[in-house]
């Protein structure tokens, strides 16, 4: 929700009248109004009421009361998927604009969505601005969104109009059409033209993948507007609200388009580390690594969605406030331009026994300098149809840990890594890599893609390894099933790094990043 200041004098008569607590069928305190580019939200204390503006913006049409009623009903139904305790009902507004009654009797002249109110400062955009947002919130976003995409939203039918390359292009083109006439600066218009040419070329290149993903069920009825302003932290839980109800084409989308919005928003707010964290955790939960070939295209689109919203607001504001909104438009265009330029790719692998700190350190490295992390513990279980935290009950050398299963796991990791490198993403592979052949496989992947290859070495004392494994097993919060017997098997069968591999090694004596050396030097 993109709020504008409460300026009662600029509001239509109905909204001014609804500042009176007597208009409601329940006790109401002083009424506050939050205005967005498409609605007004009245905060009464216990409840909030959302009234849609009578607008037709092309991508939405609230121009008649029947259309607004339909949109209100859809809003309640759709948002109950993620926030059932918040979205309560659609209520009539009766009387007259000068003397309205919310949920009153008599002839209805407007409708509102009734919601349970939560503190406005609980939204994550405000929490972030106040310095109160942490990695814990990012982890909750990734987990909630992954569950929703896997279990909570319907899949588009193959013969539906949603999610085809043509359907994907329409809102992209609409962004350019609606932003362009609102730009005064020739430099801004030139940048928009460059972004349009890039988007056209990328769409043509990626259209076959877009079509394949629809056939494979990856176009789903998503939230559609997943930025920090539509996320809140209430009573220690993440609340996801205000999904797209007004245009099914903007809601029935590839799940990567949804992810791209939050990823872009975190980048735009100066949290590149959290953007990488969010993306990695969502990918680890869903396994949709192949979709990353589309992420940059969608992230540019999402930056332009935000630029369009800001551009529309320029016509609803004046003076210094309009100048601030124009600055938002410009910075979002710049963000979109930055997203068209991928960072240098590389392939890093780890080398270390269970408990050596590979996962802890690669979590840091995947956030800064940033990379997509692949974990053998997670992918091994995914290949077997198990969740990351499910126990397989496998013994050493059997079932998931049989030699052929291990070979399949490393081959799968190599295939994923190659696909990510093809799509222009840096990669870290978190696995023990105790066998020379495993390391050579990934060296060959890097060489065939023409990218830098590094081995992150974790030489940790055996006593420390044993201590860490016992602590991890007791906690039960990690995908690894390694116990002390597994550790001993690794010690007995490990093929140490050879002399000709040393040029690629980064470890305690040649640190890649401060957290690596810190973890190697310090026991937990």
Confidence of residue 6 (pLDDT cuts 50, 70, 90): very low
Angle at the Cα of 442 (from 440 to 446), degrees rounded to 5?
115
Together in a domain, 301 and 255: yes
Cα 430 from Cα 377, distance rounded (Å): 8
Residue 317 has pLDDT above 90, yes or no: no
Together in a domain, 226 and 251: yes
Together in a domain, 330 and 376: no
Together in a domain, 516 and 385: yes
CATH value at residue 443: 3.40.50.300
Average pLDDT over residues 314-319: 84
Identify the domain containing residue 42 by its residue range: 8-117
Give the three-class secondary structure for 318: coil
Is 256 among the domain residues? yes
Together in a domain, 152 and 277: yes
pLDDT, one tens digit per residue, over 468-494 is 888 877 776 666 767 788 888 889 999
Residue 234 φ then ψ, to 5°: -125, 125
pLDDT, one tens digit per residue, over 426-480 is 999 999 999 999 999 999 999 999 999 999 999 989 999 999 888 877 776 666 7
Is 1 among the domain residues? no
Is 513 among the domain residues? yes
Is 40 among the domain residues? yes
Taking all residues of the chain, what is their mean pLDDT, rounded to a whole number? 92
Together in a domain, 87 and 144: no
Confidence of residue 9 (pLDDT cuts 50, 70, 90): very low
Q: Find out whether 55 and 37 touch, Cβ atoms under 8 Å.
A: no
Last residue of a domain, one of 117, 138, 154: 117
Together in a domain, 66 and 18: yes
Beta strands in 3-46 (DSSP E): 32-35, 39-43
Instruction: Please report the pLDDT score of residue 47 as a whole number.
Output: 98
How many Cβ atoms from other residues are within 10 Å of residue 287's Cβ?
Answer: 15
Last residue of a domain, one of 117, 142, 175: 117
In Å, how far are 51, 107, 111, 461 from 92, measured between CA atoms? 10, 9, 5, 70
Instruction: Please report the pLDDT score of residue 512 as a whole number.
Output: 53
Residue 521 has pLDDT above 60, yes or no: no
Give the up-direction half-sphere exposure of residue 137: CA atoms within 13 A in the CB hemisphere.
Answer: 24
* Share of residues in the chain with pLDDT > 90 (%): 79
Average pLDDT over residues 63-76: 97
Cα 416 from Cα 418, distance rounded (Å): 5
pLDDT, one tens digit per residue, over 192-247 is 999 999 999 999 999 999 999 999 999 999 999 999 999 999 999 999 999 999 99
Together in a domain, 172 and 298: yes
Q: What is the pTM of this model?
A: 0.91
Instruction: Please report the pLDDT score of residue 402 as a whole number.
Output: 86
Is 302 among the domain residues? yes
Instruction: Please report the pLDDT score of residue 132 as a whole number.
Output: 98
Residue 236 φ then ψ, to 5°: 75, 15
Number of domains within the chain: 3
CATH value at residue 12: 3.30.200
Instruction: Please report the pLDDT score of residue 5 as a whole number.
Output: 42
pLDDT, one tens digit per residue, over 96-142 is 999 999 999 999 999 999 999 999 899 999 999 999 999 999 999 99
Q: Burial, 65: exposed, middle or buried (Cβ in 10 Å; 0-12, 13-18, 19+)?
A: middle
Q: Find out whether 384 and 438 touch, Cβ atoms under 8 Å.
A: no
pLDDT, one tens digit per residue, over 149-188 is 999 999 999 999 999 999 999 999 999 999 999 998 999 9
Last residue of a domain, one of 307, 339, 371: 339
Together in a domain, 219 and 151: yes
Q: What is the CA radius of gyration of the chain?
A: 26
Would you tell me the crossing angle of helices 484-493 and 462-475 to the nearest 10 degrees?
A: 140
Is 2 among the domain residues? no
Tell me the torsion sign for CA atoms 473, 477, 481, 486.
negative
Instruction: Please report the pLDDT score of residue 109 as a whole number.
Output: 96
How many Cβ atoms from other residues are within 10 Å of residue 89's Cβ?
Answer: 13
Residue 8 has pLDDT above 70, yes or no: no
The token pair at 394 is 């496998």
Confidence of residue 524 (pLDDT cuts 50, 70, 90): very low
Together in a domain, 165 and 293: yes
* Share of residues in the chain with pLDDT > 70 (%): 91
Name residues whose C-beta falls within 8 Å of residue 317's C-beta, 6 or more positions apart in sequence: 4, 325
Is 360 among the domain residues? yes
Instruction: Please report the pLDDT score of residue 520 as a whole number.
Output: 46
The larger pLDDT score, comparing residue 313 to residue 217, is at 217
Residue 2 φ then ψ, to 5°: -100, 105
Angle at the Cα of 420 (from 442 to 481), degrees rounded to 5?
65
Cα 361 from Cα 518, distance rounded (Å): 9
Cα 349 from Cα 512, distance rounded (Å): 12
The token pair at 502 is 């040393």
Together in a domain, 183 and 330: yes
Together in a domain, 366 and 322: no
Confidence of residue 363 (pLDDT cuts 50, 70, 90): very high
The larger pLDDT score, comparing residue 482 to residue 371, is at 371
Is 3 among the domain residues? no
Going by the DSSP 8-state scheme, the letter that residue 77 receives in this structure is: H
Instruction: Please report the pLDDT score of residue 479 as a whole number.
Output: 61
Name residues whose C-beta falls within 8 Å of residue 17's C-beta, 6 or more positions apart in sequence: 23, 97, 98, 99, 100
């Amino acid at each position: 929700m993109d709020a504008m200041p409460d300026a009662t004098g600029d509001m239509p008569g109905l909204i001014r009248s609804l500042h009176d607590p007597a208009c409601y069928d329940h006790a109401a305190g002083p009424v506050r109004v939050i205005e967005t580019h498409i609605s007004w939200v009245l905060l009464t204390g216990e409840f909030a009421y959302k009234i849609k503006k009578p607008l037709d913006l092309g991508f939405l049409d609230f121009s008649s009361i029947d259309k607004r009623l339909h949109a209100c009903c859809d809003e309640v139904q759709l948002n109950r998927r993620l926030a059932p305790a918040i979205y309560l009902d659609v209520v009539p507004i009766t009387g007259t604009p000068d003397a309205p009654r919310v949920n009153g009797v008599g002839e209805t002249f407007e409708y509102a969505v009734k919601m349970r109110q939560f503190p406005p400062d609980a939204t994550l955009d405000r929490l972030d601005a106040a310095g109160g947002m942490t990695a814990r919130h990012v982890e909750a976003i990734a987990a909630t969104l992954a569950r929703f995409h896997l279990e909570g939203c319907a899949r588009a039918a193959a013969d539906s109009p949603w999610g085809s390359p043509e359907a994907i292009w329409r809102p992209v083109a609409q962004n350019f059409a609606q932003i362009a006439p609102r730009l005064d600066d020739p430099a801004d218009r030139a940048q928009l033209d460059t972004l349009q040419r890039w988007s056209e070329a990328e769409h043509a290149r990626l259209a076959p993948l877009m079509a394949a993903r629809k056939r494979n069920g990856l176009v789903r009825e998503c939230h559609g507007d997943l930025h920090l302003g539509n996320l809140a932290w209430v009573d220690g839980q993440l609340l996801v609200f205000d999904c797209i109800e007004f245009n099914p084409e903007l809601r029935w989308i590839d799940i990567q388009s949804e992810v791209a919005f939050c990823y872009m928003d975190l980048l735009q707010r100066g949290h590149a580390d959290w953007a990488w964290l969010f993306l990695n955790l969502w990918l680890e939960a869903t396994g949709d690594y192949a979709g990353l070939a589309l992420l940059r295209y969608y992230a540019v689109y999402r930056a332009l969605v935000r630029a369009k919203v800001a551009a529309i607001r320029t016509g609803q504001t004046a003076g210094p406030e309009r100048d601030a909104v124009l600055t938002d438009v410009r910075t979002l265009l710049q963000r979109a331009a930055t997203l068209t330029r991928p960072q240098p790719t590389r392939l890093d692998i780890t080398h270390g026994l269970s408990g050596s700190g590979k996962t802890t350190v690669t979590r840091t490295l995947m956030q800064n300098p940033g990379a997509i992390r692949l974990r053998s513990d997670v992918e091994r279980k995914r290949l077997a149809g198990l969740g990351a935290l499910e126990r397989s009950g496998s013994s050493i050398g059997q079932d998931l840990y049989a030699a052929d299963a291990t070979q399949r796991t490393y081959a799968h990791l190599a295939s994923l890594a190659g696909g990510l490198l093809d799509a222009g993403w840096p990669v870290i592979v978190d696995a023990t890599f105790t066998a020379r052949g495993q390391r050579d496989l990934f060296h060959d992947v890097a060489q065939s893609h023409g990218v830098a290859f590094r081995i992150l070495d974790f030489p940790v004392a055996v006593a420390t390894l044993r201590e860490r494994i016992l602590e991890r097993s007791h906690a039960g919060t990690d995908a690894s099933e390694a116990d002390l017997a597994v550790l001993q098997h690794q010690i007995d069968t490990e093929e140490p790094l050879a002399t000709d591999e040393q040029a690629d090694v980064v470890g305690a004596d040649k640190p890649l990043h401060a957290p690596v050396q810190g973890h190697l030097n310090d026991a937990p």
